[in-house]
Structure 1
Amino acid sequence: MIAETVCSAVSAAGLGIAVVTAYRKRFLAAARLAAYALVPVGLVMTGVVGWLSDTALSPTAWAGFGVLGAAWLLFAGTRAVERRRAGTGAERGAAGRDAVAPAASAPPLGGRARPAAGPATTPRPAPSRGAGAEPAEDFSDIEAILKKHGI
Structure 2
Amino acid sequence: MLAETICSAASAAGLGIAAVTAWRRRFLTATRIAAYSLVPIALVLTGFVEWVAPIAFKPTVWLGFGLLAVAWLLFAITRAIERRSGGTRKERRAAARAAQGEAVAPAASVPSLGSGLPDSSSRPQAKPRQQSAAPAEDFSDIEAILKKHGI
Q: What TM-score do the two structures reach when normalised by structure 1? A: 0.46
* Higher alpha-carbon Rg: 1
TM-score, normalised with respect to structure 2: 0.46
